[in-house]
Chain A
């Protein structure tokens, strides 16, 4: 079974969500059997995911029964969802029960406040190795998906568990959303360990969040830089959390000062702070810094995980042999995903990456072989841990307004440059609505003309 869940202690709670719905390892195996007996064959299912027991159970059952899920946010814009359904033709949907009235499909089954709907659509051919699809961007609703193999998911779950030293007694807070690679692998790594996942829909700024994790005696917390900023603001260091033992950071670059603060806090209190690095295309985790090195290598993402390999290449694509160097990070390992899908027929494709991933991140390697992310080659931002593909935003604006724009930015703000003054507010509103970003993190500026080079390519 998926992650060998049928070999875990049956009576132990595998997951409990902050509405109080829980499931044991034994129950989840029984559920998976029932779920798969209804669907019967290898097919495509969309899961409108949230951090709840029902959502997690549907995902586990699908992976166990070789049913291929695409995980989407349950808050996805319904127009975007309709578009994805049209492109990929899923035969089933697994959605929160409260959304029942929003769909015109037949209801097959219901459990853990989730419902199974049959669309009547005919699925495309699915490659034998294909296990899971994740969106490249959680926000723009782009049809571009990342294709994972069964090996990718299994090996990364085990690698994350081994690198973090997880044990069956762990109880991990899951605040990052399930459709977000890091959020999903927080869940996978704890499940493969036989530990407990605390599925949170509330966030760090909710009073109920802190009560729940105290009641549940949470031991592990994984987050993106923004989560750590909020923790710091809430004076996390002064909170009394005796059960907490492990803090895992990933999904972007934590400010240097904060990195040091958290590393020092961990050192002082006997807890562990792990800094990691990953991407959806690498099934989440690719590198991590051992907790005992956090204070001596502050700001570092460490070295490649077990069975993986990191290297640097120069502008010509040639591997740099000197130890101390700067270049684009290239990752090799069994967790490199199969490739992308942009249409239904792409689901039949096999492995296109062959275990090699050009990360698009520029990194520095120090004399001891530790890596530090220094910048980015590719055109995307990370806002609140969400990956925003700038070319997709430009494409969205072009489709909706029939005009050109120039999207740039940094990890705090996206800047959209346009030439039509009259559309400034409308475009701002449109992008906020479609991406769900906070309004101050998007700026629209009006410029004379979009700068282009002689070849007609935009100059950013």
Chain B
């Protein structure tokens, strides 16, 4: 799987959504992406890409799209 597929899989599994929903997904836009879901998704990304987020990035990670930009800081390129 490439990085985008891995990234998508984390979202789909963390929030139980389908791939069509991903593009517009933002924090708190669906019940599953609440505070608890957020930390679970962050943990899953850290595990998938073997990285450790800076706390500021955890707070700034407010949408599916922003998340991709944040990950580039950790050399995860799409």
Q: Which residues of A contact B (CB under 8 A)?
A: 203-207, 210, 226, 230, 233-235, 238, 384, 436, 438-440
Q: List 28 A-B contacts (CB under 8 A).
A: A203-B35, A204-B35, A205-B35, A205-B38, A205-B39, A205-B58, A205-B59, A206-B35, A206-B59, A207-B59, A207-B60, A207-B62, A226-B36, A230-B35, A230-B39, A233-B39, A233-B55, A233-B58, A234-B59, A235-B55, A238-B55, A436-B31, A438-B32, A438-B36, A438-B37, A438-B40, A440-B14, A440-B40
Q: For residue B4, give the distance in angstroms from its CB to the closest CB of chain A.
A: 23
Contact of B69 with A by CB under 8 A = no
Cα–Cα distance between A221 and B55 once the two chains are bound (Å): 19
Which of A205, A207, A226 is the most central at the interface, judged by chain B CB atoms within 10 Å of its CB?
A: A205
B residues in contact with A205, CB < 8 Å:
35, 38-39, 58-59
Q: For residue B59, give the distance in angstroms from its CB to the closest CB of chain A.
A: 5
Q: Which residue of A lies closest to B54 (CB)?
A: A235
Q: For residue A162, give the distance in angstroms from its CB to the closest CB of chain B.
A: 32
Q: For residue A202, give the distance in angstroms from its CB to the closest CB of chain B.
A: 9
Contact of B16 with A by CB under 8 A = yes
Cα–Cα distance between A290 and B14 once the two chains are bound (Å): 39
Q: A438-B32, A439-B16, A439-B32 are in contact. Are A210 and B37 (CB under 8 A)?
A: no
Q: For residue B33, give the distance in angstroms from its CB to the closest CB of chain A.
A: 10
Q: Which residue of B lies closest to A204 (CB)?
A: B35
Q: For residue A94, give the distance in angstroms from its CB to the closest CB of chain B.
A: 24
- Which of A234, A384, A439 meets B58, CB within 8 Å? A234
Beyond A234-B55, A234-B58, A235-B55, list 18 extra A-B contacts (CB 8 Å): A203-B34, A203-B35, A204-B35, A206-B35, A206-B59, A207-B60, A210-B59, A226-B36, A230-B35, A230-B39, A233-B55, A233-B58, A234-B59, A438-B40, A439-B16, A439-B32, A440-B14, A440-B40
Q: How large is the interface on B (under 10, 10 to 19, 20 to 34, 35 or more residues)?
A: 10 to 19
Q: Which residues of B contact A (CB under 8 A)?
A: 14, 16, 31-32, 34-40, 42, 55, 58-60, 62
A-B CB pair tally, cutoff 8 Å: 36
Cα–Cα distance between A158 and B35 once the two chains are bound (Å): 32
Q: For residue A212, give the distance in angstroms from its CB to the closest CB of chain B.
A: 13
A residues in contact with B58, CB < 8 Å:
205, 233-234
A residues in contact with B55, CB < 8 Å:
233-235, 238
Cα–Cα distance between A233 and B58 once the two chains are bound (Å): 9
Q: Which residue of A lies closest to B58 (CB)?
A: A234
Q: For residue B13, give the distance in angstroms from its CB to the closest CB of chain A.
A: 9
Cα–Cα distance between A166 and B14 once the two chains are bound (Å): 40
Q: Which residue of B lies closest to A202 (CB)?
A: B35
A residues in contact with B32, CB < 8 Å:
438-439
Q: Which residue of B lies closest to A230 (CB)?
A: B39
A residues in contact with B60, CB < 8 Å:
207
Which of B32, B39, B42, B60 is the most central at the interface, judged by chain A CB atoms within 10 Å of its CB?
A: B39
Q: For residue A193, give the distance in angstroms from its CB to the closest CB of chain B.
A: 28
A residues in contact with B35, CB < 8 Å:
203-206, 230
A residues in contact with B37, CB < 8 Å:
438
Cα–Cα distance between A439 and B31 once the two chains are bound (Å): 11
B residues in contact with A207, CB < 8 Å:
59-60, 62
B residues in contact with A439, CB < 8 Å:
16, 32
Q: For residue B29, give the distance in angstroms from its CB to the closest CB of chain A.
A: 14
B residues in contact with A204, CB < 8 Å:
35
Q: Which residue of A lies closest to B46 (CB)?
A: A233
Q: For residue B57, give the distance in angstroms from its CB to the closest CB of chain A.
A: 11
B residues in contact with A233, CB < 8 Å:
39, 42, 55, 58
Q: For residue A223, give the distance in angstroms from its CB to the closest CB of chain B.
A: 12
B residues in contact with A436, CB < 8 Å:
31
Which of A235, A384, A438 is the most central at the interface, judged by chain B CB atoms within 10 Å of its CB?
A: A438
B residues in contact with A206, CB < 8 Å:
35, 59
Cα–Cα distance between A204 and B38 once the two chains are bound (Å): 11
Q: Which residue of B lies closest to A440 (CB)?
A: B40
Cα–Cα distance between A205 and B34 once the two chains are bound (Å): 9
Cα–Cα distance between A438 and B40 once the two chains are bound (Å): 9
Q: Which residue of B lies closest to A239 (CB)?
A: B55
